Structure formats: structure tokens, C-alpha cells
Copies of this chain bind each other. A is one copy, B any other.
Amino acid sequence: MGGAAVTVPVIGTIRTPFGSKFAVPRQGGGNCPAHGRVILEPPYSAPSAVKGLEGFSHLHLIFHFHLAGPGPFHATVRPPRLGGNTRLGVFATRSPYRPSRLGLSVVRLLGVEVQAGRAQLVVEGVDLVDGTPIIDIKPYLPRFDAIPGASAGFAGGPPPSLGVEVAPGAQARFGALPRAERESILAILAQDPRPAYRGAGDGHRYGATLFGHNIVFFLDGGRILITAVED
């Protein structure tokens, strides 16, 4: 058993509005309407390979946490949700720094499209960095996959939710963004994407790459204040 491994092909990549790991909404973000597009690569992009998928409302995506890079096995991680100071077993978390470097997300399927003879999937509720390699696509089967009464350990509480405001100097640029992008940005920042080891009022200025813009913000008296929208 020791040293056994499995090699799995990359079947495509996903395009998303999230240009960097920082500020990607955690686990789909729930109320975040951001869309993504799974672009399958030959031979997996044959339209016949997704025949019947349009009958499902949701999909599982198995993907490669490619930005985590390779590295030695660490049995424990410090989940951001616990403030970054508590160590938990890596298999008790959804951390990217797991032996497989594989992630799992449920997304809503909005449509199946064929471009230049290749299948693409339009999905909603993505929490993946732009360009993430996709390893597998599986239909979500509510009879087996949906367990609403499951209990969820440390992850069971409500997510953080901060107030988000736009500073006067940034309102013109922010207001010029499409409505869906504005709503997504506000929803993502409300989840407090700052690194977990930061305190409640660290004054540090952060930049998140969202929808091709650098959104500059900092924590100001318990709320997130957006101070600039840069290209």
C-alpha cells in the first residue's frame, strides 16, 4: 500500500472571476451569484460526453488545487474559520493542503454549450480560482448526496458576515461595474477574506483580484471599507 498512487488526467479548466486565491468565496459562497465556465479539452470535450447532463440542476466538480503546489504531508492544518490558531486534522477540513490536492465543490448547472465542436458548461456558485484544472464532473444526485440533517463539527456555525461599504473616493468606479459584479464583490468581502491570523482591526490594506479588477479594501471599525477599484 505504501507509496501507491493514481494518475488522473486533467479534463479541462474552469474560467472564473477570481484572479487569485485571495478572496475566492469559500465553498461557493452561497449567496454569491458569480458564474464560471468549464472548458473541456479534447478528447473529453466531445459533446456526447456530456449528453444527459442538462437534466441535472447541480454538479460535483473535482478539481486540482494547483496553486497549493506539491509538498510534504502535514497531518494538521489551521482552518481560517477557527481563527487560524487551532490545529485540526487535514482530513477534518477542506484545506487545499491535503495529500490529494483535490477539491470538491457543488455548483449549479446553468447550461451546456458547444463552441467549435467542444462542450463547455456554464455554472454558478463557483469558489475556484480562474484557470483551476478540472479532474472530474459528476451529476449531483440528491437522493444520495443531499443530507440536510448532517451535523458539521466546527464548520456548522454561520459564516462570518461583515458590513461592507464603499469609500466616497471609490464610489464612481465601483458604481460603474455591472450590477452582478458589484453584488458578488460585496458578498465575497462580507465573508471577511482576510488571512485568519489578522486581528479584528488590523488596518492593513488588501487587494483582491475580482472580475479582472483589483479591489482595495481594509477593515475599518468592524466593517470592510473598499477604498479603490483598480485595473
B151 touches A55 (CB 8 A): yes
Does A64 touch B at the CB level, under 8 Å?
A: yes
Q: What's the nearest-Cβ distance from chain B to residue A165, in Å?
A: 26
Does A213 touch B at the CB level, under 8 Å?
A: no
Nearest B-chain residue to A28, judged by Cβ = B144
- Which of A15-23, A84-92, A174-182, A184-192 sits within the interface? A84-92
* Interface mask (A67-101 → B, CB under 8 Å = 1, otherwise 0): 00000010110000000000111111110001111
Complex-state Cα separation, A6 to B99, whole angstroms: 12
Indicate whether A56 sits within 8 Å of B6 (C-beta atoms), given known contacts A44-B73, A62-B102, A140-B150: no
Copies of this protein in the assembly total 2
B99 touches A9 (CB 8 A): yes
A4, A13, A149: residue with the most chain B Cβ atoms closer than 10 Å: A4
Does A110 touch B at the CB level, under 8 Å?
A: no
Cβ-defined partner of A10 (8 Å) among B1, B89, B94? B1
Does A133 touch B at the CB level, under 8 Å?
A: yes
A9 touches B4 (CB 8 A): yes
Q: Can you offer 24 A-B residue contacts whose CB atoms are under 8 A?
A: A1-B12, A2-B41, A5-B8, A6-B10, A6-B102, A7-B8, A9-B100, A48-B89, A51-B76, A51-B87, A52-B89, A52-B92, A52-B153, A57-B149, A58-B147, A62-B62, A91-B136, A91-B139, A94-B138, A100-B136, A139-B152, A140-B147, A143-B159, A145-B147
